[in-house]
Amino acid sequence: MDKQDVRERVWDELAESGEARFPYPPHGRIPNFNGADEAAERLAATEAWREADAIKSNPDAPQLPVRRAALRQEKTVYMAVPRLREEKCFLRLDPAEIDDYDHATTIGGSAEVGVQVAPEEMDPIDLIVSGSVAVDESGGRIGKGEGYSDLEFALLRECGLVSDETVTATTVHEMQVVDDDVDAGAHDVPIDLIVTPERTVRDEVRAKPSGVRWAELSEERIEEIPILRRLRPE
């Protein structure tokens, strides 16, 4: 099935069932859901979480409890600057430098208290938490369709900050775990650890893209993202 068809179906199901939470409606975004706190708690009980010192997370609402849990457990959190539009394209949230974790882990708060850093200023990433619209049980992920999550991973890989062994996780509602086989491209980052409020669906580390697939990027995309312009091979 086409990825957009799966997105629309999942968004509709979350909305019609009453399981979607603010911001509403869920359409066009990484959907927030009832049980996001419980899914974060289940993720925080995993070995991958316990062993992680530095976590990269998406900024969306359903992963807010993940980011807060990370800071409360003294883990450094990295978030991408929206659309990677700055040369220093990541925000670092260092729990030792932050007083109000609740504020710091919101989108607005992270922009206020987070420190913008370039990849060479970052620690190696131990765990990546990605928001999803849908995910299949083999780890195929469907995001909003803009491709930034996969591109962020590719940039981190180019800079030696992630590897095949870096665990990728997502927290989702049960309705977001789909039976459709996601048709993953070579640039798509698989999800190793899928956690819902009720269960851990998958926990198996897989090989991941080796870096930026330059031939697949348009000149427009490269020109609008400073870090791509800097890293582009001659």
Query: What type of residue is 129?
Result: V
Q: How many CB atoms lie within 10 A of CB 86?
A: 16
Average pLDDT score over the chain: 94
Closest CA to 125 of 169, 72, 73: 169
Closest CA to 140 of 173, 175, 189: 189
The pLDDT assigned to 1 comes to 63
Q: Where are the domains of the chain?
A: 34-210
Return d(Cα 14, Cα 8) in angstroms, integer. Answer: 10
Q: Spell out the CATH class of 34-210.
A: alpha beta
Query: What type of residue is 45?
Result: A
Please say if the pLDDT value at position 70 is more than 80: yes
Q: Burial letters for 9-21: b for 16+ Cβ neighbours within 10 Å, e otherwise?
A: bbbebbeeeebbb
At 49-62, the pLDDT tens digits run 999 999 999 999 99
The residue-averaged pLDDT of 174-195 equals: 88
**Low-confidence winner among 7-11, 145-149, 229-233 (lowest mean pLDDT):** 145-149
Furthest-apart CA atoms within the chain: distance in Å: 52
Strand, helix or coil for residue 225: coil
At 163-182, the pLDDT tens digits run 999 999 999 999 999 997 78
The pLDDT assigned to 96 comes to 96
User: Under 8 Å CB-to-CB from 161, ≥6 apart: which residues?
Assistant: 119, 122, 123, 124, 125
At 123-153, the pLDDT tens digits run 999 999 999 999 999 999 999 988 889 999 9
